[in-house]
Structure 1
């Protein structure tokens, strides 16, 4: 069943600062908040009233919006009473979305954040509105007839439908393979390799850095992939998928080093290994996520993308393919990715636009790619309802009730709609995620240079966060090629994003690591460039 694009109607929107409530409408009219009596700053109810007074159906918040924290000790910013408005199915995890209905008129208003599109770039309402319009213009310039939807995911999947080759009508994976992908496919490689509260508790995981032995570090490098997911969409495999036994899997692997397949493997960590784990294994308690065995001699078994299997074999791991699901090679995402890459290149080439706005547009294009890939694996998500009395919770949903301050929240499962069914392609998501995990460990650079975590000293790896690497060692390959590195500016290249030098306490927690990352990214890579240039000048 081929996915068909559709055109949404324009949603009247106000762009306002979360703290002050001031901002602009989508047409550029100045917005002044309706603030309740005895308040100097608007609350959420005031912002909803403000939207209603301007005829808006969506509020896009900029500024210091509280983190989407659903922990028991903190109240989510959407979990407040809004007199005259009732909740209509929120999404609490980042990026959070509030849905409200005005009780007197049934007017609906969605509350979203500009960060959903533009990431952590600090924009005021005017800049955010300009970035939105610029993103829409860039998208329509590369995909005729395209427009922006309510979310990056919906925008991207529609762009895919507009970009799917006319001669390609990819089959769905069979129901059993689709269910298997959901049970056995992880997303990003997420790992903190410093001993401490955020290090894995599994016995087959050994820390690479012990802060008790190495109390301080003098260098912190932040490396990440340039528009990485867009570079991983080339010639993916499509359904329905063929199941192969051990013998056929091994034969196919011998014949095709670019096999499009998911492979169930048994593996053993080499006895002399002192580096990160290469395969993600799911904890028995699924809610605990994934761990990456790296203890010498440890054995495990898991499903992995073929790119991960070949990468592990190159690294000297003993890998035994037990069975596989092979897909047919096609180009389901090639045009989609190429068009967004072109939009990004055009964005970065524009010179008469505010730098933050231009960066925001590039971030929005990245959000479209990343969230679209995730949407391919979505089977619908639960609708979260909010009530202020436990008596209001329907009996059939009592098992999902959680209390958050004075509020009670419960979930109503939402099956995949018929309109969204053609966009359910978990095999595409699984392949991109697998390729991403493989490339951050061992990937290509300019001039045939190998890049990635495995080229670094094991005891320098602080952590991995998807396509980002945090390390105490700045590899030369992370530099631009005109400085002797392997970054030629192409999408998918791992490149030095930021660098900080000094005397820093070894980051034993994710919080400490994130602070160093922010510091390094603020600094940028220039100091490291200077160090390598000075070293090169001293060579005979």
Structure 2
């Protein structure tokens, strides 16, 4: 083979690669559609895997893996227990009932404490009771704790294994901070960036108090950049798209929305190139997101830097003119400046939230040196074991096939309710042996504190309501977490202190909790000042939205209040610091420059788009322990929360069994209305939708969302006619 033949065959190989990529994308979409159809068929009470499998061209096990509710007895038989493998359940599995147990092992010769709490009165706040927690002998088999990292994929019917902390000195070394890395008060003034607001459908551009009409027939990135800079030769640094979603205009030409977005971002932009960053600015390169992407460009001469972003990052923009959205940003800036004299609106809510938080870090007193960052090992453990919002759909036969109605209750500004406390200081490890050696008072205090616990959980034999604690989903492709509720089910998981407290002191009866390991922090208030200021700004803007006599200003104030909510919500999410994935582009003529560990996610005739994981960075504001505690508190409040002023409780566990249909992050869907108090305060349950006529029980998320939208429309219409 000569060099010419070699080069020609390389070109043929690249063409084959491109065809394979397209075919795989098409196949993946078809397989997703097939799985969705199988899940829908599984909702039929007489559905059988034996009939669905040949129709789908799958094996019986494959069908059961997609829809566990179809599992026949022969696929659910118990298997012998092994020290480090998951054990299939003897119960047929579905999306909400337990599908298996995984008995985490304690150190050889140790005792796993067992806690129980008597049920409190439904109308009184349970107080710590030193006598309510007892330790019982439960000798575990000797085995090393699983290491943190990617667990092996679970097979059908098995529980996905969660990582743990290594035994002995190896694990103890995790309980430290990353050297020379801490969150500190900034010593600089954040610089504001000029921005404009553009509706690419209507061709309306708003800059300060000026409005321009633009002709954007293709709305490509190049056309937007060149047209905006022609109208505003002085230039801007941020272009917010308020309507039009130009990155979706050729979505029908791509198998996935993300591919269409990547193609739009990476299309040729004569006179411009992808921004590679400047100074200490790490925000370089495009960010490929299916709905809210970020395009970062700079002029070919390097003199001008500009971002194209979606205003949808901040709030729902539908029905809002660009001028109103501009007014919303002005109102937002004024509300923030009332509390932070140096406040600057940055590109996204998460960036703004973290920047504002750093400006509340004390410069004197106990935390004047800042808040140290956990070891990378503990951050990785939180990432793997601390979920976010609860999303669960409860389907027949656990609920009736025909519902008497559907009521949606959504918690207002929910996360703001749970920011008053978070863990600070060097974390302490609490092994099963250590926990068992404590007095009941010490155990209770620890479980009421800021901690993250590795536990073995048993659902009471008499339980007849929804699940309380999250368990790892049984197989890849499922949601990351589910909530076992079948009586007698045992599973191993990680959970935060608020959820452990709810399991022990809920109004229906205590669950059995066995401590296997734990991470415990000192109680502190690192987010309290930040949260209070945001809540005050939110309340002020809400008042303006209610009282302003100008309809456009009312709408602008409402949008600004939603932006404050996004700042807190996404600011908390940013603390979690998930392992990062970098997206990049390489010209097809320089294909050999694609990083060897990168995955190619899109391409066209000129550009290859790729992404690769980069793990955890040395982020000085990474605090996954804070995000985990807030998320745990919010999930617990979906089940039970006290309204002190009204001397009552609200939440799913204060409803009759069988009336809860679904959870969606901050919302509960019920079959019956509840007399829960609502004062417009963070955490209060707001009735957002109500269908009073019988409806079929939803069996898919799409069906639930359709009922939700109908319920909101019905409730809004009924209020308008009063």
TM-score band, normalised by the shorter chain?
0.7 to 0.9
> How has the CA–CA distance of structure 1 residues 413 and 115 changed in structure 2, closer, same or farther, with 3 Å as cutoff?
same
- Aligned residue in 2 for 1:178: 379
Structure 2 residue aligned with 1:281, among 468, 471, 477? 471
> How has the CA–CA distance of structure 1 residues 379 and 194 changed in structure 2, closer, same or farther, with 3 Å as cutoff?
closer
**Shift in Å, 1:335:** 0.7
> How has the CA–CA distance of structure 1 residues 247 and 415 changed in structure 2, closer, same or farther, with 3 Å as cutoff?
closer
Measured against aligned partners, the alpha-carbon deviations of 1:316-370 in whole angstroms (never above 9, x if no partner) come to: 2211122211101111011111111111111122233523212111110110011
> How has the CA–CA distance of structure 1 residues 338 and 410 changed in structure 2, closer, same or farther, with 3 Å as cutoff?
same
Structure 2 residue aligned with 1:335, among 529, 532, 536? 529
Structure 2 residue aligned with 1:433, among 631, 635, 638? 631
- Aligned residue in 1 for 2:325: 128
Give, in whole Å, the separation in 2 of the partners of 1:286 and 1:230. 32
**Shift in Å, 1:248:** 3.6
Contact 1:23 1:125 in 2 (8 A): yes
Structure 2 residue aligned with 1:410, among 610, 617, 624? 610
> How has the CA–CA distance of structure 1 residues 246 and 114 changed in structure 2, closer, same or farther, with 3 Å as cutoff?
same
Structure 1 residue aligned with 2:453, among 238, 263, 268? 263
SS of the aligned residue for 1:14 comes to strand
Q: 295-304 or 103-112, which moves further after superposition? A: 103-112
Give, in whole Å, the separation in 2 of the partners of 1:138 and 1:103. 34
**Shift in Å, 1:405:** 7.2
* TM-score, with length taken from structure 1: 0.84
Give, in whole Å, the separation in 2 of the partners of 1:191 and 1:67. 31
* TM-score, with length taken from structure 2: 0.64
- Aligned residue in 1 for 2:263: 79
**Shift in Å, 1:524:** 4.2
- Aligned residue in 2 for 1:448: 647
Give, in whole Å, the separation in 2 of the partners of 1:474 and 1:529. 19
- Aligned residue in 2 for 1:498: 689
- Structure 2: unaligned runs, 5 residues or longer: 1-181, 276-284
- Aligned residue in 2 for 1:293: 484
Residue 181 (structure 2) pairs with residue 4 (structure 1): no
**Correspondence list, 1:92-491, <5 A:** 92-93=288-289, 96-102=292-298, 104-106=300-302, 107-119=304-316, 122-165=319-362, 166-167=364-365, 168=367, 169-194=370-395, 208-209=398-399, 214=401, 216-249=402-435, 251=438, 252-255=442-445, 258-283=448-473, 288=478, 289-315=480-506, 316-350=510-544, 351-352=547-548, 354-378=553-577, 381-386=580-585, 389=588, 392=591, 394-397=593-596, 399-403=598-602, 408-413=608-613, 421-445=619-643, 446-477=645-676, 486-491=677-682
**Correspondence list, 1:514-529, <5 A:** 514-524=705-715, 527=718
Give, in whole Å, the separation in 2 of the partners of 1:334 and 1:323. 28
**Shift in Å, 1:497:** 2.1
Contact 2:418 2:633 in 1 (8 A): yes
> How has the CA–CA distance of structure 1 residues 64 and 524 changed in structure 2, closer, same or farther, with 3 Å as cutoff?
farther
- Aligned residue in 1 for 2:147: none
SS of the aligned residue for 2:620 comes to helix
> How has the CA–CA distance of structure 1 residues 319 and 122 changed in structure 2, closer, same or farther, with 3 Å as cutoff?
farther
- Structure 1: unaligned runs, 5 residues or longer: 196-206, 478-485, 532-540
What do you get for the CA RMSD once the two structures are aligned? 3.0
**Shift in Å, 1:229:** 0.9
> How has the CA–CA distance of structure 1 residues 57 and 397 changed in structure 2, closer, same or farther, with 3 Å as cutoff?
farther
Q: 159-168 or 284-293, which moves further after superposition? A: 284-293
Q: 144-153 or 384-393, which moves further after superposition? A: 384-393
> How has the CA–CA distance of structure 1 residues 505 and 387 changed in structure 2, closer, same or farther, with 3 Å as cutoff?
farther
> How has the CA–CA distance of structure 1 residues 318 and 346 changed in structure 2, closer, same or farther, with 3 Å as cutoff?
same
Give, in whole Å, the separation in 2 of the partners of 1:149 and 1:457. 46
- Aligned residue in 2 for 1:481: none
Give, in whole Å, the separation in 2 of the partners of 1:31 and 1:394. 42
SS of the aligned residue for 1:264 comes to strand
> How has the CA–CA distance of structure 1 residues 512 and 391 changed in structure 2, closer, same or farther, with 3 Å as cutoff?
farther
**Shift in Å, 1:156:** 0.9
> How has the CA–CA distance of structure 1 residues 284 and 208 changed in structure 2, closer, same or farther, with 3 Å as cutoff?
closer
SS of the aligned residue for 2:428 comes to strand
